[in-house]
């Protein structure tokens, strides 16, 4: 199958091509920025991503939530949490709703420097939406959620 170039087809085709290129470029640059920030803080990118997830969650989360969000196996999640706990960034606490399980809580004071880097990256992304209205933001959010669902299906071989 031949891919169309950005100069072929209708205006809609060109704009769809531009969207695809922009999404690809954005994802690559986000990954690079997070990898650089992680490296600067002597963290593995997965560790940095987990700290960001816990920060955004704003509450203790289960290891299963971390696994689901980050796409990890239970073994790699255990290793991740062991590293972060050893460094003092997170603590495992008993789950008050289920005595057999634990929750993971973020130590924001210990992770302050890494979290500041995370917030700096997030702020640069927010700058792109500052000039947009609520309806435009909602349309973009819907589009990205649909693209994410389609990408998930494709990754599971259901496309």
Domains in the chain: boundaries: 11-128
70 is written with which tokens?
């980050």
2-12 pLDDT tens trace? 455 555 668 88
96 is written with which tokens?
């008050």
Instruction: Tell which residue, 73, 75, 14, 70, has the closest CA to residue 47.
Output: 70
35-56 pLDDT tens trace? 998 999 899 999 999 999 999 9
Write down the pLDDT at residue 1.
45
CATH, range 11-128: 1.10.10.10
Write down the pLDDT at residue 99.
86
pTM to 2 decimal places = 0.78
* Cα Rg, the chain, nearest whole Å: 19
Mean of pLDDT over the chain: 90
β-bridge partners, 102: 94
């Amino acid at each position: 199958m031949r891919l169309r170039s950005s100069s072929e087809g209708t205006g809609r085709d060109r704009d769809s091509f531009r969207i695809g290129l922009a999404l690809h470029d954005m994802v690559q640059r986000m990954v690079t920025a997070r990898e650089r920030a992680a490296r600067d803080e002597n963290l593995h990118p997965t560790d940095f991503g987990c700290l960001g997830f816990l920060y955004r969650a704003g509450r203790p989360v289960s290891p299963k939530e971390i696994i689901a969000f980050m796409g990890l196996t239970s073994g790699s999640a255990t290793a991740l949490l062991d590293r972060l706990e050893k460094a003092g960034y997170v603590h495992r606490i008993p789950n008050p709703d289920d005595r057999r399980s634990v929750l993971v809580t973020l130590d924001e004071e210990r992770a302050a420097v890494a979290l500041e880097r995370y917030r700096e990256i997030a702020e640069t992304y927010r700058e792109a939406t500052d000039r947009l209205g609520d309806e435009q933001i909602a349309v973009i959010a819907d589009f990205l959620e649909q693209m994410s669902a389609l990408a998930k299906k494709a990754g599971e071989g259901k496309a």
